[in-house]
């Protein structure tokens, strides 16, 4: 079987795993954090679960399968029920990206482990089950970094904007709510421009890709020790 066809198959297979395994974990982590902060809305609505079908958004799921980025159903969070409104929103907003980054680190750890263990090195130089597993984990790591970075962008409705919103003054808040629909339309246009700018500029201008690569390199330091510890 052609190696490119194999890579293409596992690219979409990994995206499906993202929907079925990682996104439920990320959403549940948000719900658990909200519960710890005093808001049990997600738990009462049955959203703290690893059942993927509770979390899937049809359009967002299709976007992840086709493009590698997308969204799930919003978690039912009620900050007014929390003991500290501002702290609650910030912590819950950070929970999603942090969960993605931790998932990326775990995947990267096993990829590096597979390639540096002497007993497995011979299997990593050709298409074997271990090679396929490493490929899937590598793609999952990339998707998690991508989603974590996108969620931290200071654009509504991303988690990064929710965090920024908590530290903005009342003047900004009044302006935002007075122009809510327009701001969200502009935010959507900016996001689409960031996603498609590389192709439109023949990859000469790709600020989002550069940011994702920078974060990916930064997270790589968390597993940089693996080859020296487990290598032959």
pLDDT of residue 232: 59
> Which two structure tokens, joined as six digits, stand for 139?
């793609």
Q: State the residue range of the domain holding 17.
A: 3-230
pLDDT of residue 46: 94
Q: 8-48: per-residue pLDDT in tens?
A: 999 999 999 999 999 999 999 999 999 999 999 999 999 99
**Full-model pTM:** 0.93
CB-CB contact of 37 with 88 (8 Å): yes
129 half-sphere exposure, CB direction, 13 A CA radius: 0
> Which two structure tokens, joined as six digits, stand for 53?
């079908």
Q: 130-161: per-residue pLDDT in tens?
A: 999 999 999 999 999 999 999 999 999 899 99
Mean pLDDT of 64-88: 88
Could you tell me which residues come within 8 angstroms of residue 138 by beta carbon, excluding any fewer than 6 positions away? 107, 108, 111
Q: How does the average pLDDT of the chain come out, rounded? A: 91
Mean pLDDT of 167-184: 88
- Checking if the pLDDT of 231 tops 80, the result is no
| Percent of the chain surpassing pLDDT 90 | 65
pLDDT of residue 142: 95
**Number of domains comprising the chain:** 1
Ordered DSSP codes for 102-129: HHHHHHHHHHHHHHH-HHHHGGGGSS-H
Mean pLDDT of 77-97: 92
Mean pLDDT of 106-127: 88
pLDDT of residue 1: 60
Confidence of residue 120 (pLDDT cuts 50, 70, 90): confident
- Checking if the pLDDT of 181 tops 70, the result is yes
Question: Count of CB atoms within 10 A of residue 212's CB?
Answer: 19
- Checking if the pLDDT of 102 tops 90, the result is yes
């Amino acid at each position: 079987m052609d190696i490119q066809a194999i890579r293409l198959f596992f690219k979409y297979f990994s995206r499906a795993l993202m929907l079925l395994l990682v996104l439920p974990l990320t959403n549940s982590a948000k719900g658990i954090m909200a519960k710890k902060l005093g808001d049990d809305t997600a738990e009462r609505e049955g959203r703290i679960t690893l059942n993927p079908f509770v979390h899937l958004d049809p359009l967002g799921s299709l976007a992840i399968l086709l493009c590698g980025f997308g969204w799930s159903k919003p978690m039912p969070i009620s900050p007014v029920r929390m003991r500290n409104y501002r702290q609650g929103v910030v912590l819950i907003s950070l929970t999603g990206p942090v969960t993605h980054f931790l998932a990326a680190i775990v995947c990267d750890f096993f990829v590096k482990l597979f390639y540096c263990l002497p007993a497995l090195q011979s299997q990593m130089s050709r298409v074997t089950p271990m090679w396929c597993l490493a490929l899937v984990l590598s793609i999952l790591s990339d998707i998690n970094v991508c989603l974590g970075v996108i969620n931290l962008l200071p654009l509504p409705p991303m988690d990064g904007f929710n965090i920024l919103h908590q530290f903005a003054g009342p003047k900004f808040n009044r302006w935002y709510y007075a122009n809510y629909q327009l701001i969200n339309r502009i935010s959507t246009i900016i996001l689409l421009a960031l996603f498609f700018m590389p192709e439109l500029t023949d990859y000469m201008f790709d600020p989002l890709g550069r940011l994702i690569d920078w974060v990916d390199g930064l997270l790589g330091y968390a597993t940089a020790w693996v080859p020296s510890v487990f290598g032959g």
